[in-house]
A = this chain, B = another copy of it.
Amino acid sequence: MSIIDRLVEHNVEYAKTYRGDYPLRPSKQVAVVACMDSRLDVFAMLGLGLGEAHIIRNAGGVITDDMIRSLTISQRMLGTREIVLLHHTNCGLNTFTEDEFDDLLLRETGARAHWKAESFRDVDQSVRESIRRITQSPFVPFTDNVRGFVVDVETGLLREVMRDDAEE
């Protein structure tokens, strides 16, 4: 049995106790942006229940155009008002440079991507950069409550990264 078949089999058990009466619009009016890392169970880590928050995740948890698209839809069409950013220690994006990634793709595929890998060296700086990308977007309307954190994957604890307003 393949891994995906086993996930589907588990889902049948999950559905037996699933209560399906949650609304489309998140009740806590919050969107969580997080890295795709396998050690971040966002619902459990933040105590979120079903129907409460949008969860948006990519490699790094960095703010890209697609993140702006998702946050714009989250706020303008589905009523969220606050944003939590979760980056973390021991991140895969901290293990290579943009040049190394570009060279790898070119060597293995013969093609260059028109997007960047979004690798970074300093996770706090990466969180601040992502906050800036949100506050500077013309499309995300509610940016008073955008807060960024680094998750320590050894302890599971969040540490808030303070915005450096001098950089804005």
Distance in angstroms between the alpha carbons of A145 and B141 in the assembled complex: 39
Distance in angstroms between the alpha carbons of A42 and B54 in the assembled complex: 12
Complex contact B84–A47 (CB within 8 A): no
Indicate which residue in B7, B47, B104, B118 contacts A14 across the interface (CB closer than 8 Å): B47
Q: A41-90: which residues lie under 8 A (CB-CB) from chain B?
A: 41, 43-48, 50-59, 64-70, 72-74, 76-78, 82, 84, 90
Write out, one digit per residue, whether chain A residues 1-21 have a CB within 8 A of any chain B CB (1) or not (0): 011101110111111001011
Q: Which residue of B lies closest to A9 (CB)?
A: B47
17 CB-based A-B contacts, threshold 8 Å: A2-B82, A13-B47, A15-B155, A15-B156, A20-B152, A24-B37, A24-B92, A26-B38, A41-B50, A55-B57, A58-B58, A58-B67, A64-B66, A65-B114, A69-B116, A77-B96, A78-B92
